[in-house]
Amino acid sequence: MFFRRLLSLLTVLFCLPASFAAAEKTVTVSFAGDVTLGSEEWLKDSPGNFHEYARDKGYGYFFANVKDLFEKDDLTIVNLEGVLSNSAADENKNKAYRFRGPTDYAKILTEGSVEACAISNNHTKDFGNRGYDDTKEALEAENIGYFGNRDYWIFEKDGIRIAFFSFVSTAYESYRQWTVEISEKLKKDGVNAIVYIYHGGNEYSKEHNWMQWNFARQVIGYRHGDLVIMHHPHVVQGVDVMQNRYIFYSLGNFCFGGNTQVRALQSMVVQADLHFSDDGEFLGQQARIYPAHIASTASQDGDPSDFQPKLVTGEDAHRVLELVQYDTAFELGSFDEEAGCLVLPYLPAKTEE
């Protein structure tokens, strides 16, 4: 325990790679925010929209500025907020906003080193069950994992198995009891850790709400949750700790084709190291925050979007972290300019007696 704490301290001081502070086995997962690969139907032929950038610059363009970070982890996960379908036949025109891109846009994720998507949110059924099914088939065709509602997903590395769940706030109540039962079963079947992703909160609010906090309390307290990541507010929110597990209340937008102009520039990538013993016991976690912008050429809200997120440093990074700190009850610590990240403390899974 002393050795691990010493390595954790060195990691915080020098922003060292997590492997220096790892136990016998480590799984590194990067999480990014809301990703919409497409646009509303009426925007798809207008100048400066997401589809125009895809045609002119190619699929590798969108994640080019962050691909290097994503390639160095074991797994990158985004929230896919929209539909991948070649048909608009079942468009739900009762909704104010409906986002769709062709199935081929799944290649954008592949070329950006994104290996899995959360697909439980308020836009996954913008084009009905047909669009939802088409989205899953498009991801499967690119060997991209997905999880949402009753579709959970398990990632495995070196014999370590991590289960991923995602839920949207408006439907979670119908899955509460099922989640208790399935999480218990997965743990008995040898799953070593469980990560929950939640799509909820108040849009454009600087603070998380009670429902977000309560979801985290439930899944950590009663559903074997080891890490909680949230989306939907479109802006970055704070960090919390419950039972020595990290909660990130909102990562903000990321590669977001839903608006041609930037509505909320600040974003962040969270990279979490999950540590395990040789026999698979979950030992603890450490996380790094990489401040980001959702567009590489925009400098403020209202600027045209180029749909190409980038990591930021200097004053841009500090503005992102100020927003995170505003909604965080403890001091986050210092940003490391050279490494481009803020390292949060190591949290052992079990506290000392």
32-43 pLDDT, tens digit each: 999 999 999 999
- Cα distances from 227 to residues 92, 128, 147, 179, 188, in angstroms, run 33, 31, 16, 15, 19
pLDDT range class, residue 14, cuts 50, 70, 90: very low
Strand ranges (E), the chain: 25-36, 75-80, 83-84, 100-101, 116-118, 145-147, 153-157, 160-168, 193-199, 227-231, 239-242, 245-248, 253-256, 266-276, 282-293, 310-311, 342-343, 347-348
Mean pLDDT of 295-307: 98
Task: Write the CA distances from 48 to 37, 66, 137, 259, 306, integer angstroms.
Answer: 14, 22, 28, 10, 8
Residue 4 is predicted with a pLDDT of 45
Quote the tokens at residue 211.
Answer: 């429902």
| For the chain, domain boundaries | 2-348
Is residue 79 within 8 A of residue 293, CB to CB? The reply is no
Q: Give the mean pLDDT of 97-111.
A: 98
Place of tokens 């190619």: 58
| Tens-digit pLDDT profile for residues 308-323 | 999 999 999 999 999 9
pLDDT tens digits, 204-240: 999 999 999 999 999 999 999 999 999 999 999 999 9
State the architecture of 2-348 in CATH terms. Answer: 4-Layer Sandwich (3.60)
Which tens digit of pLDDT belongs to each residue from 76-86?
A: 999 999 999 99
- State the Cα torsion 227-233-236-241 to the nearest 10°: -30
pLDDT of res. 351: 73
Q: How many CA atoms lie within 13 A of 180 on its CB side?
A: 7
